[in-house]
Amino acid sequence: MVDLRALVAYLDTLLECGRIQDYAPNGLQVEGRARVGRLVTGVSASLALLEAAREAGADAVLVHHGYFWRGESPCVTGMRRARLALLLEAQMSLLAYHLPLDAHPKLGNNAALGRILGLPQDGRFAPGEGPEIVFWGELPEPLPLAELARRVATRLGRDPLVVAGGEHPVRRIAWCSGAAQGYLEAVAARGFDAYLSGEISEPTFHAARELGVHYLAAGHHATERYGVRTLGEHLAQHFGIEHRHVEIDNPV
């Protein structure tokens, strides 16, 4: 067992939350039991995840996508009421880490995604103001785009949507999980051959072709399910607590 406050303090320090501005509060979002012996992790704090955590007897739930996003309604009604009611009735704490989890160089989403895809992690950069959340690497040998797409499909269990930015092979590749398609221009300005993220929007198709950068949209959920699991495994080892990762399938 670990004291909840000690767990939160450790995470806040480990993920350097104090230096990162975000769109939602990072850390403890809903307070439950004072001590944590069983931790459940998942990508998003959906009702399905919370129900699975309650069934597993979790004391706390750790996610990448939590609550209280900037600009969303503060009213606790409907869907929000059901989620919060379950947490409070079960006395389960909710901990959420968004950009800090994307940015961590070893335990974060992008670090874990790179390992899953077998990509060398040679560096990372900030695409604008904010943390260094775009990771990059240089492959030992140039890789045809079709072969890279097959690797992504095999290792993530889903076919990426691929936009060819030309006929060149991939040697230098950058990646950033989730809804990071807007960083494509910053990637192109640094001379990368390809860029992989989670989502794609209509302008991204044209931008990739005109900028000459291959773009692979591998799924928001699929690219962000590894960091929180890695973090949960680290916490289990560090504090000697039980950990279970719950995968709530999401095709987006």
Q: Starting at the earlier edge strand, list the strands of the sheet with 27-30.
A: 27-30, 93-96, 60-65, 38-44, 242-245
Kindly give the residue spans of alpha helices, DSSP state H, lying in 19-144: 47-55, 78-90, 99-103, 109-117
Q: Is 206 annotated as a binding residue?
A: no
Q: Is 243 annotated as a binding residue?
A: no
Measured at the CA of 113, the angle between CA 108 and CA 116, to 5 degrees, comes to 130
Q: How far apart are CA 29 and CA 46, in angstroms?
A: 14
Helix or strand run (H / E) with residue 235: helix 227-239
Q: How far apart are CA 221 and CA 61, in angstroms?
A: 17
Q: Is 168 annotated as a binding residue?
A: no
Q: Which residue has the tokens 């947490």?
A: 87
What's the chain's length in residues?
Answer: 252
Q: How far apart are CA 227 and CA 102, in angstroms?
A: 8
Q: Is 220 annotated as a binding residue?
A: yes
What separation in angstroms does the CA of 148 have from each of 30, 85, 215?
41, 44, 11
Q: Is 224 annotated as a binding residue?
A: yes
Q: How far apart are CA 181 and CA 207, in angstroms?
A: 10
Helix or strand run (H / E) with residue 195: strand 194-197
Residues contributing to the annotated binding site = 64-65, 102, 220, 224
Residues contributing to the annotated binding site for a divalent metal cation = 64-65, 102, 220, 224
